[in-house]
Amino acid sequence: MGTSPSDRGRPSARAAWGRIAATVLGLALVGVVGWQWNPLGSAAPLSHTTARTSPRPSRRPPHKPVAHHHVAPPPTWTAPASYDMTVPAQSQLPQLQNGCEVTSLSMLLTAVHHPVSKMTLAAEQPTDPTPAVLKPIPGFKGNPILEVVSWGNPNVGFVGSVEGGAQLGYGIYNGPLDHLLNEILPGQAEDMTGDSFTQILDHVAHGVPVEAWTTINFEPTNDWVTWQSPEGPVTATPMEHAVLIVGYTPTTVIINNPYTGQANEAVNRADFIAAWTQLGSQAITVRLPASSASGSAS
């Protein structure tokens, strides 16, 4: 997400709407344009999938959630109160305005000594080619805006354009991205979606970072919209974001933020967890020994 690679710090909510900017029927889709707030909305990104879309002779629905294969730490192991590791930061900008997920994945792969560029991942990630259908509705001060009526499913693949610009784009969820990770590192991908946040931090404390879905400002949001996909309704937020968790303290989560390109950014832990929960408690990582990344505990 974002508008400029020089932006630093916590982005505004208005910047998040840049993910869905488009020009359709001569109507500019900017700021909060193109979405209709649904105060009753909630995220629903819990489905796993192995569907690929190029080519797609027939459409397969997303797989239902399956049992996790997370290997818990030994019973005698206690996670430290604080932990932080060094992972080179990457920015999704300027090439991938909607590429927070693959940029975070690129950082994860670099951390476990199997680097793959964000551009390669963007080209290889599963996609959902379902076109967006929009309709104009009255907007602020009589200016028409565009409402998303139907579109793709992020549980199937990336929805819209990962490059962004004048093209409409949303994102991709844990299932298809975990599928891509498992293609790169067969048998080593681990989908921790639905696990407790304590389990997430335990994994990080063993030296393996975790990619997690949250919001662009790391706080819960009331901005939701629902559109129809070939699999059924999709409820989503334009605030959707993905980051790499590289550490924590008792009050913060330490992340590499692909939107700003900043490493080891500390954000409020309670707010982050609330936003992560809203986005369906999505998280993916790699099963590797603690020696796979350098870190420090306290």
How are the residues of the chain apportioned to helix, strand and coil, as percentages rounded to the nearest 5?
Answer: 20, 25, 55
Whole-angstrom distance, CA of residue 192 vs CA of residue 257: 20
The fold of 13-52+79-285 is: Cathepsin B; Chain A (3.90.70)
Please say whether the beta carbons of 53 and 126 come within 8 A. yes
Low-confidence winner among 65-74, 106-115, 235-244 (lowest mean pLDDT): 65-74
* Residue 64 in this model has a pLDDT that exceeds 80: no
> What's the pLDDT tens digit per position in 102-136?
999 999 999 999 999 999 999 999 999 999 999 99
Domain ranges of the chain: 13-52+79-285
Whole-angstrom distance, CA of residue 155 vs CA of residue 176: 6
- Confidence at residue 139, expressed as pLDDT on a 0 to 100 scale: 83
User: In a 3-state reduction of DSSP, which class is residue 129?
Assistant: coil
Quick one: average pLDDT of 232-255? 98
Angle, alpha carbons 48-54-58 (nearest 5°): 70
pTM: 0.79
**What is the three-state SS of 47-97?**
CECCCCCCCCCCCCCCECCCCCCCCCCCCCCCCCCCEEECCCCCCCCCCCC
- Confidence at residue 50, expressed as pLDDT on a 0 to 100 scale: 35
- Confidence at residue 77, expressed as pLDDT on a 0 to 100 scale: 76
Average pLDDT of the chain is: 81
